[in-house]
């Protein structure tokens, strides 16, 4: 198994001790077209190992860590810290597993998490625990027992995963690195270091298909676009586009996108209708891909390469015309597309180790009264966003970023 995707930043389990909260940092940056104000409004501590994933579900931030724990932080309480003398916000552990969490996504009625041991766990919201705290109850582990029994009874369901070792095709045989839900909620896609791409039917949780060798090396990221295309990124330095054509039951390879010179670690969809694809890699760059020829066939061309990070780009988050990139250089860069192209609005510097995960929420960031939280843009104060960053230093930072048009 290749570990190119980890770029050497996770060489061992990191233990962290409690540290005093740092003072909130405020910065402003200006360009010819906009001014940007950004502030670290809260630092969420308490994780015993590094933060491996972030997911926002309404007013809740779910934080996954390499020790297999998933914690919940109330975002409103965390943002209120900057207005009070409160120095800490209480979190609750809502799920505990025996395998490191690699990724998790919110589903509305719960969470789905992927793990180092090759499994996918499906969680549902359960009744409150002590003191009314929320928790998650395990609904299923994928592949389900029913799926495994079905494969056991079907001839030809076993594939060779290593020399002299076979497993049913519904199983991932290495860490499941990323998950993506289709916009219509009918499918979930998973990718793994075993180089496979799998599609799962929802809500039945049955594995519908598997592309055994979707890439030539470990797959690190997957996203599902509103137009039906699925994009995967790999340590083989490529991004691939897939689609299930009308009348077909299987995913077909649409195109291979080559621009990076090193392992591709992260993907994100942005722009109007999710028609812009961003990829981040160990070559320290973020490549912007846009549809060519109307985009009906899913083919994308590289239009811009965003540079500025000193080390590998490990994670991405995008919403509208804003994209954030987290790096092994310990910073988060906030980029925005304008009339004259992309510009770096801010460099969020505060973590003590590599930034491994990001979440971006537009239109709510502890907005001042002049910013309506349900409006992304206004002529007076522009747009506000909440950027959540998780790091190998075991902390999660919440950043308030406001961009104003001049």
Specify the pLDDT at position 253: 96
Query: Rounded to an integer, what distance in angstroms lies between the CA atom of residue 406 and that of residue 404?
Result: 6
Specify the pLDDT at position 108: 84
Specify the pLDDT at position 134: 76
CATH number (domain holding residue 250): 2.130.10.10
Residues found in the chain: 406
Specify the pLDDT at position 283: 98
- Regions in the chain scoring below 50 on pLDDT: 2-5, 7-25, 30-32, 84-87, 131, 364-381, 406
For 122-151, write each residue's pLDDT tens digit.
Answer: 999 987 655 456 789 999 999 998 888 887
H or E segment to which residue 6 belongs: none
- Answer yes or no: is 351 within a domain: yes
- Contact between residue 72 and residue 145 where contact means Cβ atoms under 8 Å apart: no
- Contact between residue 184 and residue 161 where contact means Cβ atoms under 8 Å apart: no
Specify the pLDDT at position 297: 66
Specify the pLDDT at position 299: 79
For 308-364, write each residue's pLDDT tens digit.
Answer: 999 999 999 999 899 999 999 999 999 999 888 999 999 999 999 999 999 998 764
- Answer yes or no: is 139 within a domain: yes
Q: Name the residue among 295, 291, 287, 228 with its Cα closest to residue 261.
A: 287
Specify the pLDDT at position 245: 82
Q: Name the residue among 397, 394, 400 with its Cα closest to residue 381.
A: 400
- Answer yes or no: is 68 within a domain: yes
**Can you give the residue range of the structural domain that contains 256?**
23-405
Specify the pLDDT at position 103: 97
- Contact between residue 108 and residue 169 where contact means Cβ atoms under 8 Å apart: no
Specify the pLDDT at position 369: 33
- Answer yes or no: is 80 within a domain: yes
- Answer yes or no: is 13 within a domain: no
- Answer yes or no: is 17 within a domain: no
- Answer yes or no: is 11 within a domain: no
Look at strands 300-307 and 285-291 and give their pairing. Answer: antiparallel
284-290, long-range: CB within 8 Å, 24+ apart, which pairs?
284/309, 284/310, 284/311, 284/312, 284/313, 284/327, 285/260, 285/309, 285/313, 286/313, 286/316, 286/323, 286/325, 286/335, 287/259, 287/260, 288/342, 289/239, 289/257
Query: What is the tally of structural domains in the chain?
Result: 1
- Answer yes or no: is 33 within a domain: yes
């Amino acid at each position: 198994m290749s570990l190119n995707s980890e770029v050497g930043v996770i060489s061992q389990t990191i233990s962290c001790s409690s540290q005093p909260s740092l003072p909130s940092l405020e910065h402003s940056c200006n360009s010819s077209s906009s001014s940007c104000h950004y502030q670290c409004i809260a630092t969420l501590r308490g994780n015993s190992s590094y933060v491996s994933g972030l997911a926002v579900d309404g007013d809740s931030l779910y934080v996954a860590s390499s020790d297999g724990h998933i914690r919940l932080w109330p975002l409103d309480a965390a943002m209120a810290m900057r207005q009070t003398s409160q120095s800490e916000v209480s979190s609750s552990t809502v799920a505990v597993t025996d395998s490191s969490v690699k990724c998790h996504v919110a589903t509305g009625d719960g969470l789905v998490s992927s793990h180092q041991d090759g499994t996918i766990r499906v969680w549902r919201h359960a009744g409150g625990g002590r003191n009314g705290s929320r928790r998650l109850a395990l609904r299923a582990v994928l592949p389900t027992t029913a799926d495994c029994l079905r494969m056991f009874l079907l001839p030809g369901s076993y594939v060779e995963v290593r020399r002299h070792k076979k497993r049913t095709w519904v199983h991932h045989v290495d860490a499941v690195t990323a998950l993506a839900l289709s916009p219509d909620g009918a499918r979930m896609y998973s990718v793994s270091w075993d180089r496979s791409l799998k599609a799962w039917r929802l809500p039945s949780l049955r594995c519908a298909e598997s592309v055994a060798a979707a890439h030539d090396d470990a797959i690190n990221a997957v996203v599902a676009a509103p137009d039906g295309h699925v994009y995967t990124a790999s340590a083989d330095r490529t991004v691939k586009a897939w689609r299930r054509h009308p009348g077909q039951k299987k995913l077909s390879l649409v195109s291979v996108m080559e621009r990076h010179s090193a392992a591709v670690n992260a993907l994100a969809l942005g722009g109007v209708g999710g028609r812009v694809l961003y990829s981040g890699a160990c070559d320290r760059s973020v490549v912007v891909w846009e549809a060519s020829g109307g985009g009906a066939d899913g083919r994308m061309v590289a239009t811009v390469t965003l540079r500025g990070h000193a080390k590998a780009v490990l994670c991405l988050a995008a919403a509208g015309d804003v994209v954030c990139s987290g790096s092994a250089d310990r910073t988060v860069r906030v980029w925005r597309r304008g009339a004259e192209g992309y510009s770096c609005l801010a460099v969020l510097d505060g973590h003590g180790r590599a930034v491994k995960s990001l979440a971006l929420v537009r239109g709510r960031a502890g907005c001042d009264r002049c910013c309506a939280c349900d409006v992304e843009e206004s002529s007076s104060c522009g747009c506000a966003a909440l950027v959540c960053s998780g790091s190998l230093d075991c902390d999660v930072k919440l950043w308030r970023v406001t961009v104003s048009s001049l």
